[in-house]
Homo-oligomer: A and B are copies of this chain.
Amino acid sequence: MSKADTKQRKQRAAIFKALGHPARLQIVEVLRAGERCVCDLVDVSEGGWSTVSRHLSVLKSAGILEDEKRGLQVYYKLTLPCVGTFLDCLSGDVAPKTKPARAKGCGCR
């Protein structure tokens, strides 16, 4: 296991860690539909401005989001298409509430 592997693993772990919080996951879900300004995300989320802003910076520094300032507002958007795919994949992998799940398959193997 080279040092490069270790570094890459750390970088990837940061991606997962960033997604490992319900509020941030929700933000990502919203952004799948397209970019949003921070104000929109604050409306959707539970916490206040400072909290949402911090979540966004975590997601951004993990490389999951990108921001762009336009006038007074800052817009965020997803940069890792894989994330959306993975979420869809989980919907097939993780049981739909009561059934054995594996039944439908997620087409992602």
Chain A residues in the interface with B (C-beta under 8 A):
1, 6, 9-22, 24-26, 29, 63, 80-82, 84-87, 89-90, 92-94, 106, 108-109
Contact = CB atoms under 8 A, between A and B. Distances in A.
Given A16-B20, A17-B17, A11 B94 contact: yes
A16 to B, nearest CB: 4
A81 to B, nearest CB: 5
Chain A interface, >50% SS class: helix
A85 B81 contact: no
Contact of A18 (B20, B25, B89, B93): B20
A13 B1 CA distance: 29
Contact of A16 (B6, B16, B106, B109): B16
A108 B85 contact: yes
